[in-house]
Structure 1
Amino acid sequence: MVGRGILAGVLALALAAGPSTAAAATLRAPEQCSPQRGGLQVGESWAQRRLAFTGVWPLTMGEGVTVALIDSGVDTLHPQLKVARSIDLTGTGLRDCVGHGTAVAGIIAGTDRKDIPFVGVAPKARLISIKQTNGDRGDVALLAQGIKQAADLGAQVINISIETSDQPDLRAAVDYALAKDIVIVAAAGNLKKEDGTPAAAYPASYQGVLSVGSAGPDGRRTDFSNAVTPISVLAPGEDITSTWPGGTYRQDLPGTSFAAAYVAGVAALVRARHPGLDNVRVRRRIEITADGASGTGTGAGMVNPLLAVSEILPSEVVAIAPREPSALPSTIVTRPKPPDQKAIDVSVGVAVIAVCAAGLVTAMGVVIPLGRRRGWKPGRRAIPGD
């Protein structure tokens, strides 16, 4: 009875304080943590084969890059998940009671294990988990707070697999993170029959955000992928395999949430391989190297991890003119000495004497033999008619 009286008093105070306080009390009230059950069996998914991101690993596995995911928390006890830091903004504890955040974390950076065919895109990236919700819906104010906190913690990529409406504090948080050179990857949102007329989802629709739509095994945009949201690229978002709470796996996950996780992993690979690129060029590189648009709501087409990491883009190659060489010092070349005129005169005189001597010797070689034959007698002049 005493316990019931205390509980009744607390609820009465909460209601008397107004709707916002009552909502906070409800949010922080203990909830049953029971995500859907996963399985122990797991196989290589079509998404993993389609993107073939393991072919990028000889170049990079995302080492040195910090990725923050703002979601429902992460099961840090899962054998394929390593989380560097976990933060709870909901006041309900760090456990993932939905499973959504654990699945997103596995797609981004699930570690490589020989006995498991499933693996994340960037298994050596550093993960930060920021729990923003403990259910299917979250508080936009907490989402904005989570984005700012991720930016202050040094995240280089932020994954937001959450859709909401445009809010001033959310816009300000996104601008804050972009100003810190962070790549923000966000889900384009899922259409449901009860949604009526589709509307653009946020933060995916903000300028500067890498917005991701969902594609099926045939490469086409899935019917539930919101085409009203401006799309940057597509990624697998149907029948997705990933990690799940309790050390289990799911192989039937649908949604642009998981498509965004694949692109966040690719962004981590690009940032690790090209640390000199800012967030604008990273986003542009992912868009330019995609497989090509295939209709409304497909953006640049399916993301291509190998090309995103390895392609040489002419616009990123800046031709720098070689530096003009400095003038050589005046002392590096020895100046010729002035000519020695006396030596020249002596040489010319010796040369003339030598030529005269040679001429004299030649003449003597002709005259002396001739004189001997005549007995040194003078020659007789020839007389005409003689």
Structure 2
Amino acid sequence: MISISTRSNPAIRAAALAVAGACAFAPFTAGAAPQGEFDGFVRGRLLVEAKPGLSDAAFDKLLKPYGGKKRKLGQSNLHVIDLPGHASEIAILKQLEHRPEFKFAELDRLVESTMAVNDPYIGSAWHINKIGAPAAWDSTRGSGITIAILDSGIESTHPDLKANLVAGRNIYNNNTDVSDICGHGTAVAGAAAAASNNGIGVAGTAGAAKIMPLRIAYWNTTYSSCYASYSTIAAGITYAADNGARVANASYARLAASSAVLSAARYMKSKGGLVFVSAGNANVDEKITADPALIVVSATTSSDARASFSSYGAAVSLAAPGSGIWTTGRNATYLSKNGTSFSSPIAAGVAAMMMAARPDLKPDTIQSLMYSTAVDLGSAGRDVYFGHGRVNAAAAVAAAKSYGVTSDTTAPKAAISAPLGNASVSGAVAVNVGASDNVGVARVELKANGTVVAVDSAAPYSFSWNSTGVANGMANLVAVAYDAAGNSGSSASVAVNVANATTTTTTVDTVKPTITITNPVAGNVSGRVTISISVTDNSDVAGIRQQLLIDGVLRAYGSGGTLAWTWNAAKYTAGSHTIRVTAKDKAGNLAEKTLVVNNVK
């Protein structure tokens, strides 16, 4: 947060946001924003998450009445919806947020960086000893783990950062220029992973971890502060997950209030990563509900008190030093900084060290161990000011190293709550599934008459099933839940009556089916990848037979208009792999589509 409070001056805040809304940034350019009153969101844009099973064609049809065009964020199910200049974002949002084909729809709100005013002197690195980092460094400094810094860019020539940098991306401008436009990102990166044991400058929490710079912000010249939006941050998290980062940090305010950011964080968790965000510097209860998808970090002082500027509330997960933090600055300098902007990357660095010490541990385990080893401050147990407590690097790394590997043989449980048995259905059908496990559910697959038609990797588990993919009459739906150990549990079969309108044709069918690979898209993939396919045809799609091959080897097959399969790319070599899909209709017309992706190990 800047020294002039935009929160307390509505006129200043409205003007600042108007400037932000007028900024066009590719690939998020949405056309010229209308002038006039502006209420803290980006004009001409919405964010939605499509339910698994929604085809591209059906998605486009939903948006057509509004003139909307969708853009997919990485390999996730998140989409930016670009609207024409005359459209009312709020009116269209009210239409889309209740559609059963979407998990959510929301405005693309603007958020501000959480750096407070500078101290008048260079401080000492008191926080390093406070969190017990030197003891943790006896075991690990984060080697082998990449931390994505979603911010204003990074000064790539800084002597304390350049050795740890890996290729990043300018999400805001859709190019490779990640130079720091604010100074904020360079300072945040230093708190997380400035090189340690190099005889110069400062040491980040995880001084041997790699830093992936992702620029998601722009510089507001009027108010001398960095602004970003839900869409750029969600896109940055998705990019980090798709490109092998295990930790992501976004030091911007109120991110836990965004459904899109939470969805992106769940996606990163499904890839084995964790996302850290700052609590904010407004010194207020932000009144945001806690969600395990994000680790929200408040700021403490050298005496383990809450920093006077630190926001708080139910969403706070952890606390970490955030007052007088000595870190890297632009022009190869070192600065003392205040703000939850720095408590968040300090905690993120601890997670990176834990992952380096035990690469086999799942993100939920890392998160749980960070909470259980934190130094309890304030009221006993979790509270609104410190969350589970102030992060303790020494205890957290030790706990990760000694964590026992137990064999999980307990199968998850699954149950379909909608539609009900014997219900009559047609077209796109909303299917809701409840799933639970003793450790955690990794994904849920939906089967229609034995064919896997969609996969969802994050709760709440819900699907948009295209019932035209089966013949009219009774169809059986089954949900199968999987845990990380590979155990699976199936729901009871739910029989529904499919009653779609039919057409009769007497002409000879010579038209090939049309195949769409909804996910993944061309580019980088990592970890478990959901391959989603939809097929359309001039005749009955219920009779179509599909096959899915990876590098020429048959991996899945089924009948109907949709097919899904979970590909564990982690078991394949790094580099290029070919996904090939074939579809044959009742008349014997055969179509084929291929997609080449790059596996990031």
The Cα shift of 1:267 comes to 0.3
- 1:361-376 → structure 2 map (5 Å cutoff): none
Distance 2:207 2:323 in 1: 22
The Cα shift of 1:210 comes to 1.7
The Cα shift of 1:309 comes to 0.6
Partner of 1:65: 145
- 1:110-259 → structure 2 map (5 Å cutoff): 110-113=194-197, 115-116=199-200, 118-135=202-219, 136-164=226-254, 166-191=257-282, 198-200=285-287, 205-251=290-336, 253-259=337-343
Partner of 2:167: 85
Partner of 1:378: none
Question: Percent same amino acid at aligned positions?
Answer: 28
The Cα shift of 1:312 comes to 7.0
Q: 1:273 to 1:114 in 2, by over 3 A?
A: closer
Distance 1:317 1:77 in 2: 42
Distance 1:267 1:212 in 2: 13
The Cα shift of 1:64 comes to 0.8
Distance 1:65 1:312 in 2: 15
Partner of 1:300: 388
Query: Would the aligned equivalents of 1:163 and 1:201 in 2 still touch at CA under 8 Å?
Result: no
1:309 to 2:400 alignment: no
Tell me the C-alpha RMSD between the 2 structures.
3.2
Query: Would the aligned equivalents of 1:42 and 1:118 in 2 still touch at CA under 8 Å?
Result: no
One-letter amino acid of the structure 1 residue matched with residue 251 of structure 2: S
One-letter amino acid of the structure 2 residue matched with residue 306 of structure 1: A
Structure 1 or 2, whichever has the larger Rg, is 1
Would you tell me which structure has more helix in proportion to its own residues? 1
Distance 1:292 1:201 in 2: 22
1:149-195 Cα deviation digits (max 9, x unpaired): 11100111111211235334323222211222211111112215xxx
Distance 2:335 2:217 in 1: 20
The Cα shift of 1:208 comes to 2.7
The Cα shift of 1:245 comes to 0.8
Q: Secondary structure at the match of 2:191?
A: helix
Q: 1:131 to 1:317 in 2, by over 3 A?
A: same
1:93-131 Cα deviation digits (max 9, x unpaired): 422121111111111111125543521111111111100
Q: Secondary structure at the match of 1:300?
A: coil
Q: Secondary structure at the match of 1:266?
A: helix
1:252-283 Cα deviation digits (max 9, x unpaired): x1111100110000000000001111000000
Partner of 2:452: none
Q: 1:101 to 1:220 in 2, by over 3 A?
A: same
Q: How many residues align?
A: 289
Distance 1:247 1:306 in 2: 30
The Cα shift of 1:50 comes to 1.4
Distance 1:57 1:146 in 2: 29
1:98 to 2:189 alignment: no
Distance 1:314 1:102 in 2: 34
Distance 2:391 2:136 in 1: 13
One-letter amino acid of the structure 2 residue matched with residue 302 of structure 1: R
Q: Secondary structure at the match of 2:331?
A: coil
Query: Would the aligned equivalents of 1:94 and 1:131 in 2 still touch at CA under 8 Å?
Result: yes
Of 272, 275, 279, which residue of structure 1 is paired with 2:359? 275
The Cα shift of 1:15 comes to 12
Q: Secondary structure at the match of 1:307?
A: helix
Q: Structure with the greater relative contact order (CA < 8 A, sep ≥ 6): 1 or 2?
A: 1
